[in-house]
Amino acid sequence: MSSYAAVLRTPGAARAFGAALLGRLSYGTAPLALVLAVQRGSGSYAVAGTVMALFGISSVLLSPVRAALVDRHGPRRALPPMAVLYGALLVALACVCLLGGAGAALLAVLGTAAGACTPPLGPTMRTVWSELVPDRRMLERAYSLDGVCEELLYVSGPLVIGVLVQYADPAVGVLLGAGLVVVGTLALVASPALRTTGPGTGQDSGDAAPVRGRAPWRPALVAAGVGLALGAVDLLVLAFADDRGRASAAPWLLAALSVGSAVGGLVNGAVRWRRPARSRLALFAVGLAGALALAGAAPGLAALAGAMVLAGLFVAPALTTAYLYADELASPGTRTRAGAWVNTAVNAGSSAASAGVGLLVGRLPLPWCFVLAGLPALCCALAVRSSRGARADARRPASETPADRPEPRPTADR
């Protein structure tokens, strides 16, 4: 833990990180609150599901566009308008739901617009880390700490909403999400750490190649495979528990996955790895696929919980390493975009798997469904390792990688 304390002792790091986490807590609270608020306001689960689907699609697909704005204009100029507009749209949604009787079209428009304005606080904070922590080993620890804390936010956010709706209307949870993202974003851009994180140098907004030409698709591809696996696991765990007559155990089984992920993330950041990020990324994806295959062979709930912990040990390290690898490939003015593509790949994979795995459950035995859930991560890892670019990277000495050469710092956004 002393290594993580050293990361937080970096000048300006603790303040910026705390502000970013405060804003990102909104992404753990707002979605569930929005579903409940829209369902209560419209009286329809179908409308609530549609609004949330539109919110998620616009948020995920436009993430690289918003990240490109941060790269071009700097976070201090780009993030506040996004946060304020996002918060205002959430407030509008909350008010419409509180009034009741809102039309589905209005709710859909507001939900789509809110998702489109979601500030990319995660990719931006990872860019800030790369500026604050030039040492690659320390940067790995910073990314691991960031990933573990983000995991905890997505676990704790729904719990906060679960408690809040016992005493207040779900729309209050939507207002809470709006307040968190605005306050967190403004605190982040006001932190001294962002004085050295300005607009990208030498980049043009029309540049279609956000990285140095060293196969930027590789980290995003593996991240998509991991996302496909995670999206499938949610439904498969529920089906497994329901098959044993214990559907109520599903949240605890998924919590075991989160616990394993948190532990794996902390260990990953503490270890002094000798393998480069590109090799570790494939290794973690293969480990996740193997753990899911073991989960399919679990004889009972206790064994499945153990398998979920084992699978979780590879989740945070895989995602952290994907972000790290993308940062290695990115030029100084496109780091936020590179991280956003990885984030988009994970979320898109998860959403696609959630839709697709429902077609498999009931048609195939559950053990085979678990094996198939891990297959995309395995195939993506093998594709990355067998690509010509990956072999060329493997032959290149570590001292020649762009991540180890000094980079020109972006100009400050004053």
**What's the confidence (pLDDT) of residue 75?**
93
What letters, b where the CB count within 10 A reaches 16 and e where it falls short, cover 6-26? ebeebebbebbbbbbbbbbbb
Instruction: Give first-to-last CA distance, the chain, whole Å.
Output: 35
Whole-model pTM: value is 0.78
**What's the confidence (pLDDT) of residue 349?**
85
In angstroms, the CA 414 to CA 192 distance is 11
**What's the confidence (pLDDT) of residue 387?**
62
In angstroms, the CA 303 to CA 299 distance is 6
**What's the confidence (pLDDT) of residue 314?**
94
Per-residue pLDDT of the chain (414 residues; tens, 9 = 90+): 567 888 888 889 999 999 999 999 999 899 889 988 998 888 888 888 888 888 988 998 899 899 999 989 999 999 999 999 999 999 999 999 988 767 889 999 999 999 999 999 999 998 899 888 877 788 888 988 998 898 888 888 888 888 898 899 999 999 999 999 999 999 999 998 887 666 653 333 333 344 444 546 778 889 999 999 988 888 888 888 888 888 778 878 888 898 899 999 999 888 888 888 888 998 999 999 999 999 989 999 999 999 999 999 999 999 999 988 888 887 777 888 888 888 888 888 887 886 677 777 777 888 998 999 999 888 888 887 776 555 445 444 433 343 343 333 333 333
- With H, G, I as helix, E, B as strand and everything else as coil, classify residue 78: helix
Which residue carries 């937080």 as its tokens? Answer: 8
Please count the residues of the chain: 414
| Among 346, 327, 75, 33, CA closest to 199 | 75
Q: Are 369 and 234 in contact (CB under 8 A)?
A: no
**What's the confidence (pLDDT) of residue 83?**
96
**What's the confidence (pLDDT) of residue 48?**
87
